[in-house]
Amino acid sequence: MTLAMHRLLVVEDDPGIRKVLRLLFDGEGFRVIPAETCALGIRQAQSHRPDVCIVDLGLPDRDGLAFVRELRTWSAAPVLILTACGEEGQRLSAFEAGADDYIAKPFSCPELLARTRAILRRVTLRDPGARTLKLGATSIDLGRRVARGRSGEEKRLTPLEHRILECLLRYAGDVVPHRDILREVWGPHHSDMRALRVYITSLRRKLEIDPVQPRHILTEPGIGYRLVAEQ
Ligand code: CA
């Protein structure tokens, strides 16, 4: 796969950051499509069909989550959120809206580039097979990355949530240490335990009947997580 073909939509109202991102990604062979408002971002996404989007949370017309929600009604293109506020609640809302990753401002350019590439790699490598995992009343189509609960309502898993689930599934029944999940899902140099916790919480909300008392994605305190497929 060549990264030179990738179209990157940048939805950001700060002209300084737009310029930095354009210089950064242009130099790496991306085609950068800028938009300074949510409304323009949606129009650009519709006409350019980006492969990946970087979206600021604080936009002048609507917030970045509104962009993600609207995009998700017709596109699975991965979205990385830029956030000035590091609150857990904001991140969870971003994941629930369908974002795939977030990075806090001020960000480091090499890290943003690495995360963007990692998202693209995951999307490209994701398993196209049509396997189904049953967790109690929830069935998960691992090929489509969609979970369906008792009510029949469909919940989409983000690429990172899907990777974490695949990782736990590979060792189903056994504890998978935090460091192994981080290495497998984020790469060898990542140690953001908080991000892992946020994603586990988000997965439980989508897959568990009672996310507060999970029966399938279990915490092994101080060690890691364990997937229990059968009760
Ligand atoms: Ca802003």
pLDDT digits (tens, 9 = 90+) for 131-166: 778 898 899 988 778 999 888 889 999 888 988 998
Cα(80) to centroid(ligand 1), Å: 14
Cα(58) to centroid(ligand 1), Å: 4
Residue 1 has pLDDT above 70, yes or no: no
Q: Helices in the chain by DSSP H: which ranges?
A: 15-26, 38-48, 64-72, 88-97, 109-125, 159-170, 178-186, 193-207
- Give the model's confidence band at 127: pLDDT under 50 very low, under 70 low, under 90 confident, else very high: very low
Return mean pLDDT, the chain. Answer: 86
Q: What is the model's pTM?
A: 0.57
Integer Cα distance of 97 and 80 in angstroms: 12
The topology (CATH level 3) of 129-227 is Arc Repressor Mutant, subunit A (1.10.10)
Any idea which architecture 3-126 has in CATH?
3-Layer(aba) Sandwich (3.40)
Cα(12) to centroid(ligand 1), Å: 6
Integer Cα distance of 93 and 184 in angstroms: 25
Mean pLDDT of 168-175: 84
Backbone angles phi, psi at 225, to 5 degrees: -130, 155
Residue 218 has pLDDT above 70, yes or no: yes
Least confident range from 68-77, 112-121, 156-165, 198-207: namely 68-77
Cis? peptide before 221, omega within 30° of 0: no
Of all residues in the chain, what percent carry a pLDDT higher than 70? 90
pLDDT digits (tens, 9 = 90+) for 54-103: 999 999 999 999 999 998 887 778 999 998 866 567 778 888 888 999 89
Cα(66) to centroid(ligand 1), Å: 14
Cα(104) to centroid(ligand 1), Å: 12
> What pLDDT does residue 134 have?
86
Cα(41) to centroid(ligand 1), Å: 13
Cα(51) to centroid(ligand 1), Å: 22
Cα(46) to centroid(ligand 1), Å: 22
Q: How many CB atoms lie within 10 A of CB 60?
A: 10
What's the length of the chain? Answer: 231
> What pLDDT does residue 56 have?
94
Residue 129 has pLDDT above 50, yes or no: no
> What pLDDT does residue 29 have?
81
What are the residue ranges spanned by the domains of the chain? Answer: 3-126, 129-227
